Structure 1
Amino acid sequence: MVLMVVKLLGGIGLFLTGMVLLTDGLKAFSGDALRRALLQFTGTPFKAFTSGTLLTLLVQSSAATTITLIGFVSAGLLSFPQAVGVVMGASLGTTGTGWLISLLGLKVSLGLYTMPLIGIGALMKLLARGRVRALGMALSGFGIMFVGIDFMQQGMQTLSEHFSLRAMDMDGLGIRLATMLIGMVVTVMMQSSTAVVAMTLTALSTGTVSFEQGAVLVIGAAIGTTMTGVLAAIGGSVLAKRTALAHVLFNLSTGLLALLLLPAFMAALGWAQHYLGLQPGAVSLVAFHTLFIGVGVCLFLPFAAPFAHLIERLLPSRPDTLVNLLDESQLQVPEVALDTTHKALERISLEMFDLLAVAAQCPVRNDGQAPVLEEHKVKKLKQALRQVRDFFARIPVDEESVYLMPRRLEQMHAIDHLVRLQSRLKLPEQLCDIGINPQATEGAAIARQVLEEARRAVEDPAVAHAEAEAMARQTARLLELRQQVRLAVLRESAGGHRDSFDAMKVMDVMRWLERVAYHSWRVCHSLSGGTTPEPEQADLD
């Protein structure tokens, strides 16, 4: 009896470990291709459904697809109606592992044959680099998964000799709901519906449960798997919560429908076994899983848009903020998290440019009136920049995401220059108190022009590089002007023609204008993917 428990628990553990390694390995091996494919092939509900199905078949995890999807939607890369189709596809795609187990894993002891894959994969993981290393992890996971199935079979075989649920009456709705609840709870505990389906298929093949009991457990697993998305959406954006709710409502509705129509499904499977040669047992159970999810897709997919609008009414949008795109779920997919920080940095940059443009008007007005920057806007801007910095610092960095290093570097440069621009929001007291000064007037005009070009560059990526080049020229001109003014006012002050305190005022204002222009240019340069190194400057504040 103890040996049976050890084998059963060990088999479950090996299967879960194999699934994690397989999923993580395939995601890392595919790299940015999964992201590009999902974004490219989601134009219509049917395309989105197909993409969700294929993606889940590839990574062997509907939970992984859902978490990735939540990140995409939160980042604004996919619209919510598109996400609804992907959710349905993920639910159908997760049945693929069941087919693999029922057709191969339970018929042939693949654990022995997949042992070499574990060894080869481990060597690839240890010795190789980059995507080959990720492929090695996936191969090892695939092998470990089937070794786990072998141990589960052995444990279930022994369990069936001492304990069986086959004799339990399943006619009442209450007992069906209780059995479904067991499937849900076990799935939530394991965080894997595939593992619960594998356990159910193994139990069915050894006679521990009846076909009807197995069918109800599979329904429970389909509903329970939505909790992974719910957990990922907790504390997230409204879009993340909408996606998780869509997954819950679709799987819950489909599961309850399958439970109510279970006799009809059983009759349909019996007909298929008799006339179409469908194999009884585990294969038929996987067919049932695919069938009831497929029926749900047929009922929901034509009404994907109204379904999405219903959820949008249930979870209305919150007021827009500079960083409302940031979502904890995106940290699961570094490339999505970087997309989000890029969008947030663009929003912050535009707000920053607007505030600084107001201040840069001052030397031109020359009325002695200091510009008033709205305090709540400045406070909001500083808070948003701090949140982006914190979020950026928590984006995972590992060997599998080394291809993202250029994007990380660009955003680090942008954040650095935005922090320096933020310090320029504390305006020099003498900004509007320097008297009539042609050089300061010219410098302010150049700074305002740079800020206007910076706004256009951020708003329209198509002109970003051209605007960045123009800003580089204007910034160089302003630096030259600043140096000329500095030498001139120092000479005037030394010769007694200008008050030394007034000379310091002029130099401070010119420094402020030149630094604002310079950092604005470098922000746009970084956000547009520029690779030109920063020019050497006399000061880098």
Structure 2
Amino acid sequence: MRLPPHLPLTLALGLLAWAFLTSPTLTEIAAGIALFLFGMMSLEQGFKAFTGGALETVLRRSTNRLWKSLSFGAVATTLTQSSSLVSVITISFLSAGLMTLPQGIGVIFGANLGTTSGAWLIAGLGLKINVSAYAMPLLTFGVILIFNKAKPLKGMGYVLAGIGFLFLGIHYMKEGFEAYQDTLDLSQFAVAGLAGLLLYTLIGIIATVIMQSSHATLVLTITALAAGQITYENALALSIGANVGTTITALLGAVGANIEGRRLAGAHLIFNVVTGAIALSFIQVFLVAVEIGSSWLGIRDDNHTMRLALFHTLFNLTGIIVMVPFIPRLVHLLETRLKPKPVKLDAAKYINDNMLEMPAAALEASRQELVRLFGRVYSLSAQVLNYEPGQLRRISAREAFDSMPERLLNPDVDELYQRKVKPLHGLILDYLARVPVQGKRAQQLVMLRVANQQLIEAVKHAKHLQKNLLRYLNASNPHLRDEYRQLRSRLGFLLHELDRLSKHPEDIEDLDDLLLVVDDLGNDLERHDIVNNGRLDELIRRRLISAEQATSLMNDNSYAYRIGKNLLAVARATFLPFVPMDSELHDELALQPEEVKAIVGDMAAQAQGNEENRS
């Protein structure tokens, strides 16, 4: 017998409703937890409004050294009070290739230290001042700003409202536990010794998994401790459990992530489990360290909430000190154990929906996906020219492009397009339509869209070129045969050079260097255009080819020219990461509105011309 899918949720809600009816105090605590969690969500939503600019720029510049990665993770989590937001940004940048796995691990380690700031704020301020007095104005200002259309103001509104809900949640939890002092003493259920340590660690893990927030578990623990409802030793165990419980949340979040996200979740799991094991194994040592630290910081013996915050910081800091030297081995372990699955022809390798909240990462992943698509168009074009793609890559001398195969093949361009090009093209097109961008990012988005379309145009031109190319490469007329073989050789050389640039972007120092190489290839294409250089007129004037042959040669030369122009434009837009393109040199590459209109107009004219030729 199969149970209804929503039965567990229905039972849980029913039990909660019964508990609320029988205990108004429990209702107050539960409402506090709900408000706190909603505040965390609002705070995260607010900071996401700023991830398209400053936060991403800081992340790129602050993770090129391990100590910088650790510092960024700690500072960013302290400011945003959301380790999950920092994790999402890190996974997005890691998946897009904007940072390495060791750098990402450094950020996650730092984020664990940053989460301890929440305990200090709550223990130091949240329980000593009437935070609810600040909650109401914050909520009022926040809601007003949320209704603003400007994205930064809307984001600030969510931040203010989030802080307001956090304060209100802390207030209700504090009031609820204080109310219990008159009716029920939860501390009578305290468990001493190792059994208590393990039991409350498990409770901390379960609470964090249920609430999906270690911050919420810590706030609940600190408010209960301040009200005397749990013992100091059990509170320490709950904080350890909260730390370990976040790994379950991270693992659940990594289910839909790509291989880099899963590796980072694996690193998070190993770090928190090791840190928790150290804290449990050396609990007495940490208690002594807390005593010493408290005396240095002037924390009173009876101020258990501040001592809990200090303990939480100490064992996380110890975990970082222990684990940092092993990061290279950890990276090797993760890369060995967690290997990427073979990517299907119709599947994306870099883009995924998790990146859509991080425009810079989404655009960079799209760029890498377009380089993959270029590789498929390169392979298709090489086959149309009767080159083996692998052979074309190995050629070193310009003269080698003139060599002809023993037998000309006639690959099915439509079949290759439908199987290898169209699926990925469609995925990229759909993904780019969903990337939220503005300002400079919008220009980059237009460049990628145009590049995506130009690759398809190159395939269409290759299909039109194929018919006469096969017919005239071995033509009886030596002059016509020579022209088609030169056309094939020139296009083969262009494909070879562009493929080399796409496979080895490290050989390109900067955008200026790329533009010089591409311009040289473009000049070579212009120089050998037989319509503009007068070669076609000479062949006709000297009656070396017939009028029919001249028409075919002119059309096929045009197809080859357009293929070259399409692929060169793709190279300009996609062969370098967008990180260096964010510099002043970006202006050289950015398409102006009138240029985009001209390209779209050319595409429409070419499509119309193709229809006329087919008719």
**Is the contact between residue 456 and residue 467 of structure 1 (CA under 8 Å) also seen in structure 2?**
no
**Is the contact between residue 482 and residue 514 of structure 1 (CA under 8 Å) also seen in structure 2?**
no
Q: Please report how far the alpha carbon of residue 294 of structure 1 lies from its aligned counterpart in structure 2 after TM superposition.
A: 0.9
Judging changes above 3 Å, is the alpha-carbon distance between structure 1 residues 380 and 231 closer, same or farther for their aligned structure 2 residues? farther
**Is the contact between residue 190 and residue 234 of structure 2 (CA under 8 Å) also seen in structure 1?**
no
Within the alignment, does 1:417 sit opposite 2:440 as a pair? no
Q: Distance in 1 between matches of 2:537 and 2:127?
A: 86
**Is the contact between residue 384 and residue 466 of structure 2 (CA under 8 Å) also seen in structure 1?**
no
Q: Distance in 2 between matches of 1:473 and 1:233?
A: 48
Residue 13 of structure 2 aligns with which residue?
none
Structure 1 unaligned runs (5+)? Answer: none
Residue 370 of structure 1 aligns with which residue?
408
1:114-159, Cα deviation, whole Å (9 max, x unpaired)? 3222222222232351323322221221122111211221222223
Residue 252 of structure 1 aligns with which residue?
273
Within the alignment, does 1:518 sit opposite 2:565 as a pair? yes
Within the alignment, does 1:433 sit opposite 2:454 as a pair? no
Within the alignment, does 1:146 sit opposite 2:167 as a pair? yes
Residue 325 of structure 1 aligns with which residue?
350
Residue 312 of structure 1 aligns with which residue?
335
Q: Distance in 2 between matches of 1:270 and 1:374?
A: 77
**Is the contact between residue 439 and residue 481 of structure 1 (CA under 8 Å) also seen in structure 2?**
no
Q: Please report how far the alpha carbon of residue 256 of structure 1 lies from its aligned counterpart in structure 2 after TM superposition.
A: 2.0
Within the alignment, does 1:509 sit opposite 2:556 as a pair? yes
Q: Please report how far the alpha carbon of residue 222 of structure 1 lies from its aligned counterpart in structure 2 after TM superposition.
A: 0.8
Residue 293 of structure 1 aligns with which residue?
316
**Is the contact between residue 351 and residue 366 of structure 2 (CA under 8 Å) also seen in structure 1?**
yes
**Is the contact between residue 29 and residue 132 of structure 1 (CA under 8 Å) also seen in structure 2?**
no
1:531 is aligned, of 582, 588, 591, to 591
1:74-94, Cα deviation, whole Å (9 max, x unpaired)? 222222122222221010001
**Is the contact between residue 70 and residue 233 of structure 1 (CA under 8 Å) also seen in structure 2?**
no
1:481 is aligned, of 491, 512, 531, to 531
Q: Distance in 1 between matches of 2:440 and 2:36?
A: 30
Q: Distance in 1 between matches of 2:375 and 2:145?
A: 47
Q: Please report how far the alpha carbon of residue 453 of structure 1 lies from its aligned counterpart in structure 2 after TM superposition.
A: 5.5
**Is the contact between residue 482 and residue 507 of structure 1 (CA under 8 Å) also seen in structure 2?**
no
1:29-108 matches, cutoff 5 A? 29=50, 31-108=52-129
Residue 29 of structure 2 aligns with which residue?
8
**Is the contact between residue 443 and residue 514 of structure 1 (CA under 8 Å) also seen in structure 2?**
no
Judging changes above 3 Å, is the alpha-carbon distance between structure 1 residues 348 and 120 closer, same or farther for their aligned structure 2 residues? same
Q: Distance in 1 between matches of 2:529 and 2:31?
A: 69
Q: Please report how far the alpha carbon of residue 240 of structure 1 lies from its aligned counterpart in structure 2 after TM superposition.
A: 2.0
SS of match in other structure, 2:182: helix
**Is the contact between residue 184 and residue 223 of structure 1 (CA under 8 Å) also seen in structure 2?**
yes
Identity in percent: 28
1:448-480, Cα deviation, whole Å (9 max, x unpaired)? 455455446644353332344455556667888
1:328-356, Cα deviation, whole Å (9 max, x unpaired)? 54344232121111122123324423542
Judging changes above 3 Å, is the alpha-carbon distance between structure 1 residues 316 and 448 closer, same or farther for their aligned structure 2 residues? closer
Q: Distance in 2 between matches of 1:165 and 1:256?
A: 27
Q: Distance in 1 between matches of 2:250 and 2:410?
A: 46
SS of match in other structure, 1:162: coil
Q: Please report how far the alpha carbon of residue 45 of structure 1 lies from its aligned counterpart in structure 2 after TM superposition.
A: 2.5
Bigger Cα displacement from structure 2, 114-123 vs 271-280: 271-280
Letter in 1 for 2:442: M
* Number of residue equivalences: 533
Q: Please report how far the alpha carbon of residue 41 of structure 1 lies from its aligned counterpart in structure 2 after TM superposition.
A: 2.3
Bigger Cα displacement from structure 2, 464-473 vs 183-192: 464-473
Letter in 2 for 1:109: N
Judging changes above 3 Å, is the alpha-carbon distance between structure 1 residues 313 and 259 closer, same or farther for their aligned structure 2 residues? same
Normalised TM-score (structure 1): 0.86
Q: Distance in 2 between matches of 1:227 and 1:482?
A: 66
Bigger Cα displacement from structure 2, 9-18 vs 25-34: 25-34
Residue 284 of structure 1 aligns with which residue?
307
**Is the contact between residue 382 and residue 422 of structure 1 (CA under 8 Å) also seen in structure 2?**
no
Task: Tell which has more relative contact order, 1 or 2 (C-alpha 8 A, sep 6+).
Answer: 1
Judging changes above 3 Å, is the alpha-carbon distance between structure 1 residues 17 and 103 closer, same or farther for their aligned structure 2 residues? same
Q: Please report how far the alpha carbon of residue 296 of structure 1 lies from its aligned counterpart in structure 2 after TM superposition.
A: 0.9
Letter in 2 for 1:334: P
Residue 255 of structure 2 aligns with which residue?
234
Within the alignment, does 1:194 sit opposite 2:215 as a pair? yes
**Is the contact between residue 443 and residue 590 of structure 2 (CA under 8 Å) also seen in structure 1?**
no
Q: Please report how far the alpha carbon of residue 254 of structure 1 lies from its aligned counterpart in structure 2 after TM superposition.
A: 0.5
Q: Distance in 2 between matches of 1:485 and 1:165?
A: 96
2:384 is aligned, of 340, 352, 359, to 359
Letter in 1 for 2:374: S
Q: Please report how far the alpha carbon of residue 430 of structure 1 lies from its aligned counterpart in structure 2 after TM superposition.
A: 3.0
SS of match in other structure, 1:539: helix
Letter in 1 for 2:446: L
**Is the contact between residue 454 and residue 471 of structure 1 (CA under 8 Å) also seen in structure 2?**
no
Q: Please report how far the alpha carbon of residue 249 of structure 1 lies from its aligned counterpart in structure 2 after TM superposition.
A: 0.6
Q: Please report how far the alpha carbon of residue 512 of structure 1 lies from its aligned counterpart in structure 2 after TM superposition.
A: 3.2
1:147-162 matches, cutoff 5 A? 147-162=168-183
Judging changes above 3 Å, is the alpha-carbon distance between structure 1 residues 482 and 357 closer, same or farther for their aligned structure 2 residues? farther
Q: Please report how far the alpha carbon of residue 505 of structure 1 lies from its aligned counterpart in structure 2 after TM superposition.
A: 5.1
Judging changes above 3 Å, is the alpha-carbon distance between structure 1 residues 486 and 226 closer, same or farther for their aligned structure 2 residues? farther
Residue 243 of structure 1 aligns with which residue?
264
Q: Distance in 2 between matches of 1:207 and 1:27?
A: 38
Bigger Cα displacement from structure 2, 34-43 vs 10-19: 34-43
Residue 397 of structure 2 aligns with which residue?
none
Q: Distance in 1 between matches of 2:124 and 2:529?
A: 72
Letter in 1 for 2:466: P
Q: Distance in 1 between matches of 2:242 and 2:159?
A: 24
Q: Please report how far the alpha carbon of residue 482 of structure 1 lies from its aligned counterpart in structure 2 after TM superposition.
A: 8.9
Q: Please report how far the alpha carbon of residue 539 of structure 1 lies from its aligned counterpart in structure 2 after TM superposition.
A: 1.4
Q: Please report how far the alpha carbon of residue 196 of structure 1 lies from its aligned counterpart in structure 2 after TM superposition.
A: 1.3
Q: Distance in 1 between matches of 2:63 and 2:404?
A: 55
Q: Please report how far the alpha carbon of residue 97 of structure 1 lies from its aligned counterpart in structure 2 after TM superposition.
A: 1.6
Please tell me the root mean square deviation across aligned C-alpha atoms, in Å. Answer: 3.6
Structure 2 unaligned runs (5+)? Answer: 1-21, 388-400, 577-588, 611-615
Q: Distance in 2 between matches of 1:144 and 1:297?
A: 32
1:153-232 matches, cutoff 5 A? 153-232=174-253
Bigger Cα displacement from structure 2, 410-419 vs 157-166: 157-166
Q: Please report how far the alpha carbon of residue 318 of structure 1 lies from its aligned counterpart in structure 2 after TM superposition.
A: 5.2
Normalised TM-score (structure 2): 0.76
Judging changes above 3 Å, is the alpha-carbon distance between structure 1 residues 421 and 31 closer, same or farther for their aligned structure 2 residues? same
Q: Distance in 2 between matches of 1:484 and 1:162?
A: 101
Residue 157 of structure 2 aligns with which residue?
136
**Is the contact between residue 197 and residue 233 of structure 2 (CA under 8 Å) also seen in structure 1?**
no
**Is the contact between residue 46 and residue 301 of structure 1 (CA under 8 Å) also seen in structure 2?**
no
1:117 is aligned, of 105, 116, 138, to 138
